[in-house]
Amino acid sequence: MRVESVTSEVTDTNTLLLRWPEGYSVEVKTGQFVTLFWPDTPQYKRAYSLSSCGLDRDFFEVTIKREGKMGTRMVDWAKGDDILGVLPPAGRFLPVFESNRHLVCLAGGSGVAPFRGFIREATRRQLDTRMTLLYSVRTPNDIIFRDQFLQFEQQNPNFKFKATCTRLADGDSWPGRRGRLCVEWLQEHFNDLATTVFYACGPNGFVESAEKLVLEELGVPKDQLKTEKWG
């Protein structure tokens, strides 16, 4: 697929728009991932969550952080008109869009990518599923899609966006929450545990901490937690 555009989200993270070739068609579900490779090194592949949604046709969007060999090459070198190999969408990290459900999405770093797709679809379809995104980053400068999530809040009365910063200096002017995910913060954002589905996405360490909070400290049944992790 051809790289149609590269958008810088934050200092170390870009979104690539990959245009489908003429005549190509595939079923896409929001929350899935695609596997990418460079034609000159087809043996080295890396899976990335789609930051586009299942309603988007004729293109994929992936949001990639500069980390590891593939991530570094993608962020530092990928440009418009480059050609990348793309395996079809796969994965089961799928949103449960039901009117009686509350989706609480826990994101760390570039793990926010699939949740952009979740919220994009729910907003476009004007769904009444409640969604809350709790996003953990180091500093405000690391908040990917910040303006887009704030815009989704304005468009979608069922969506709430909250960020917490974990590595701020004492004198930093950030007006929001500070610190890592904790049970008390999670409990502020849902009312009925029985109708809440938790999603956690990000690096291994972040997701493992989220699993402990949700399963052990909140006592949520395993079938109410879905995870996607890497690293």
**Domains in the chain with CATH codes:** 2-90 (2.40.30.10), 102-230 (3.40.50.80)
Q: Give the pair of three-digit tokens for residue 90.
A: 């796969």
Contacts of 212 (CB under 8 A, 6+ apart): none
* pLDDT at residue 171 tops 90: no
Q: Is 108 in contact with 134 (CB distance < 8 Å)?
A: no
**Nearest-CA neighbor of 165 among 85, 204, 108?**
108
For residue 231, pLDDT beyond 80: no
* pLDDT at 230 (0 to 100): 86
- Say what percent of the chain tops pLDDT 70: 100
> What are the tens digits of pLDDT across the range 79-138?
999 999 999 999 999 999 999 999 999 999 999 999 999 999 999 999 999 999 999 999
Q: Give residue 145's pLDDT band: very low, low, confident or very high (50, 70, 90).
A: very high
CB proximity list for 117: less than 8 A, separation 6 or greater: 30, 31, 49, 50, 51, 52, 53, 54
3-state secondary structure the chain: CEEEEEEEEECCEEEEEEECCCCCCCCCCCCCEEEEECCCCCCCCEEEEECCCCCCCCEEEEEEECCHHHHHHHHHHCCCCCECEEEEEECCCCCCCCCCCEEEEEEEHHHHHHHHHHHHHHHHCCCCCEEEEEEEECCHHHCCCHHHHHHHHHHCCCEEEEEEECCCCCCCCCCCEECCCCHHHHHCCCCCHHHEEEEEEEEHHHHHHHHHHHHHHCCCCHHHEEEEEEC
Q: What is the pLDDT of residues 21-73, one digit of tens each?
A: 999 999 999 999 999 999 999 999 999 999 999 999 999 999 999 999 999 99
- The answer to whether residues 175 and 84 touch, using CB atoms and an 8 Å cutoff, is no
